Structure 1
Amino acid sequence: MVERAGAGVASGAKPVVPGAGGGRRGWVLAGFAVVVAGVLAFHRAVPNRPGRIGSLLESFLPWFGVLIVLLLGAALVRRAAVALVAVLLPVGVWVHLFGALSLPAEDAGGRGLVVVQHNVSDENDDPAGTARALIETGADLIALEEVVAPQLPVYEKELAADYPHHVVRGTVGLWSTYPLSGERLVDIKPRSIAEVWSRGVRAVVHSPYGDVAAYVAHLPSVRIGAGGLASDRRDESAELLGRAIAAESVDTVILLGDLNGAVDDRGLEPLTSRLNVAERGFAFSFPASLPLARIDQVMARSATVAHLRTLPATGSDHLPVVARVALG
């Protein structure tokens, strides 16, 4: 008697158990998942030279979540058990680093200020409309950057009724519903810039909850090119701003600014090591047409940045960012 081929398991063949590991491709996926987890967990160990590679990586760390989802999908399609287990590593690291930002805003209580940070763009063709959009937030403080001379009178006129107190130095300004004092320029100009350059201002806000030293800053731009990330000037300016804040005599400090860097970027460590960053909200703010990174920041000392969110686009290439800062 001759058995029909295919009627059962061929002689010498091993049965395939679905999900038992996905073969070689499963191990490749698993190895890739371990590498992703390692980069996320130890991103500070990535060298910054040449080309500021570490800073460039850290600017987009939250987007590793997309890569992790793709890895998970591939592991499911391959039914690779070893890969599925390995993907849990980057999932855990990502949740540890960014999970809280995904949570809804918490009630920060009554002692606090609502603040708006916006680089309004020196090419904004509707400064009046931009000002009105910011007024609608009902914020206590509005910080603006790239306020150029032709547009300044427009912002002053539109904001005057709701924000009677303001200070402008160079191209940055602060508008407040509460009285200001101690206004002064903050020198954050890198040594390599020879021309007139004023992008930092400080004032004390006399709020109902006590005095707050408010800083508005616009750090130098960074460029991504064939040589990597060019951020030397930005990093130097961040160091100067960090020293100024460290020397601030008022206990409570709020920093609002276009810092041209994400909070995970090691180039902003002179600031992030001294100030609290947002506990909720990703608030990707740049570019406005396809926001990929939050380079517009609200940070605080002796206070908590409870939540950050973006507003709809204005005439700028940045989205406005609004935050509630809970005061101690």
Structure 2
Amino acid sequence: MVQSKINNSARRSPAPTPTRRGALVITAALLLALVLAGYRFVPNVRGLGSMLDSVAPFLGIAVPVLALIALLRRARLALIAVLVPGLLWAGLFGAAWLPFGGGGPVELRVVSQNLQAGNPEPDGAVRALIDIDADVIGLQEVSGGIRGTIAETLTGRYPHQAYVSTVALWSRFPIREYVGVDTGLDWTRALRAVVAAPQGDVVVYVVHLGSARIGDTSVRDHTIATLAGQLRGDDAERLVILGDLNTAASDRVITPLTDQLSDAQADAGWGMGFTWPSVLPVTRPDHVLYRGLTAATADVVRTPGSDHRAVTAGFRF
């Protein structure tokens, strides 16, 4: 009997060491850190780099999950390992959740909304934009049927309008002039207008760039490059872009634009400001970019009927 107990004891597996308890978590944490540190070096072949750039902010979700597993397994070394991707993610994206700059009085408020062609509630959508009390409203995907409906709602508050194809600008202030802008598409889907604000003229672009699809971002990339070229030749002192750029704020492809202009959400907003899809946004294709002004506020607003949320910003001269 004594010999049997000794043999059974000898056959028992040894207790796992702290390293063995957290081996999988350590491995996962190091792999996550490697992805965060190196995803920008992945070539943008067939849009792969853009896709990685767009999903990178969501990789931070894995950090608290791994930390919780490490705590449950009482694996201290694993918990320390999780700090590595956590710090990397914070360095890359954490600033978006810090108290924003901005602040102060707003002298010009703008809003941009992709209404979505076939929106069943275009009137409700633009009424939500009116409630923002914007001075200037930029709209995309304004199809023929929608145009008449929203005109009845907006004209009283916004007597000045500019239309080019499916993009439109509505303004409280006079529009001195406007022209269509070539962004490299087969049809014109952008406009440039000079808005006579009380404090001085502001050039406003309303833009809807080409679409990007998994494995094919060439059209979108070409339209960004073309728009960036247009901006390099625009000497306006104060300039704002309102639009659906079909490009995430974290996408490397947006750099030709953000090298020339500032991002209102980054400067005066809080969080990533995701806008699409409107029910549960996971990316931000809609933007307010600017120069020659000071961003005081930036926000995202959900409106009826559209698959995009609206983006808004307030500026000082």
Relative to the length of structure 1, the TM-score reads 0.85
Quote the Cα distance in structure 2 between the aligned partners of 1:248 and 1:313.
32
The CA deviation at 1:305 is 4.2
Please say which of residues 261-270 and 115-124 is displaced more in the overlay.
Answer: 261-270
Quote the Cα distance in structure 1 between the aligned partners of 2:108 and 2:33.
37
Match of 2:180 among 179, 185, 189: 185
The verdict on how the C-alpha distance between 1:3 and 1:303 changes in structure 2, with shifts beyond 3 A counting, is: farther
Instruction: Report the equivalent of 2:224.
Output: 238
CA contact (8 A) 2:175 2:196 kept: yes
Is 1:92 aligned to residue 87 of structure 2? yes
Alignment of 1:75-114 (within 5 A): 75-114=70-109
Quote the Cα distance in structure 2 between the aligned partners of 1:305 and 1:220.
27
CA contact (8 A) 1:204 1:212 kept: yes
The verdict on how the C-alpha distance between 1:295 and 1:149 changes in structure 2, with shifts beyond 3 A counting, is: same
Match of 1:268 among 232, 250, 254: 254
Quote the Cα distance in structure 1 between the aligned partners of 2:117 and 2:15.
68
Relative to the length of structure 2, the TM-score reads 0.88
The CA deviation at 1:52 is 1.4
Give 3-state SS (helix, strand or coil) of 1:256's partner: strand
Q: Name the aligned partner's letter for residue 234 of structure 1.
A: R
Instruction: Report the equivalent of 1:290.
Output: 280
Instruction: Report the equivalent of 2:209.
Output: 219
The CA deviation at 1:95 is 1.8
Residues 188-207 of structure 1: per-residue CA shift (max 9 Å, x gap): 133xx4xxx22111112222
Q: Name the aligned partner's letter for residue 223 of structure 1.
A: R
Is 1:118 aligned to residue 113 of structure 2? yes
Residues 84-127 of structure 1: per-residue CA shift (max 9 Å, x gap): 11211221222222223223555521254221111001111222
The CA deviation at 1:40 is 2.3
Q: Name the aligned partner's letter for residue 114 of structure 2.
A: N
CA contact (8 A) 1:200 1:215 kept: yes
Is 1:62 aligned to residue 62 of structure 2? no
Which structure has greater helix proportion?
Answer: 2
Give 3-state SS (helix, strand or coil) of 1:223's partner: coil
Quote the Cα distance in structure 1 between the aligned partners of 2:66 and 2:40.
23
Residues 2-28 of structure 1: per-residue CA shift (max 9 Å, x gap): 89979xx98x997767xx43x1x5244
Is 1:160 aligned to residue 155 of structure 2? yes
The CA deviation at 1:244 is 1.0
Give 3-state SS (helix, strand or coil) of 2:196's partner: strand
CA contact (8 A) 2:102 2:297 kept: no
Quote the Cα distance in structure 2 between the aligned partners of 1:39 and 1:308.
30
Residues 186-239 of structure 1: per-residue CA shift (max 9 Å, x gap): 10133xx4xxx2211111222233322111100111222xxx3x1100000011
Match of 2:25 among 11, 26, 29: 29
Aligned residues, how many?
Answer: 310
The verdict on how the C-alpha distance between 1:236 and 1:253 changes in structure 2, with shifts beyond 3 A counting, is: same
Match of 2:130 among 129, 135, 144: 135
Q: Which runs of 5+ in 1 are unaligned?
A: none
Is 1:315 aligned to residue 305 of structure 2? yes
Quote the Cα distance in structure 2 between the aligned partners of 1:326 and 1:39.
40
The verdict on how the C-alpha distance between 1:98 and 1:324 changes in structure 2, with shifts beyond 3 A counting, is: farther
The CA deviation at 1:182 is 3.0
Q: Name the aligned partner's letter for residue 224 of structure 2.
A: A
The verdict on how the C-alpha distance between 1:31 and 1:286 changes in structure 2, with shifts beyond 3 A counting, is: same
Quote the Cα distance in structure 1 between the aligned partners of 2:145 and 2:13.
81
Q: Name the aligned partner's letter for residue 293 of structure 1.
A: T
Q: Which runs of 5+ in 2 are unaligned?
A: none
Quote the Cα distance in structure 2 between the aligned partners of 1:5 and 1:83.
36
Report runs of 4+ in structure 1 exceeding 6 Å deviation. 2-6, 12-17
Give 3-state SS (helix, strand or coil) of 1:216's partner: strand
CA contact (8 A) 1:219 1:258 kept: yes
Quote the Cα distance in structure 2 between the aligned partners of 1:13 and 1:127.
68
Please say which of residues 254-263 and 201-210 is displaced more in the overlay.
Answer: 201-210
CA contact (8 A) 2:106 2:314 kept: no
Quote the Cα distance in structure 1 between the aligned partners of 2:296 and 2:34.
29
Alignment of 1:161-176 (within 5 A): 161-176=156-171
- RMSD of aligned residue pairs (Cα, Å): 2.6
Please say which of residues 121-130 and 207-216 is displaced more in the overlay.
Answer: 207-216
CA contact (8 A) 2:247 2:284 kept: yes
Quote the Cα distance in structure 2 between the aligned partners of 1:26 and 1:39.
20
What percentage of residue pairs aligned between the two structures are identical?
A: 38
Please say which of residues 307-316 and 213-222 is displaced more in the overlay.
Answer: 307-316
Alignment of 1:10-21 (within 5 A): 20-21=18-19
Is 1:203 aligned to residue 203 of structure 2? no
The CA deviation at 1:304 is 4.5
Q: Name the aligned partner's letter for residue 41 of structure 2.
A: A
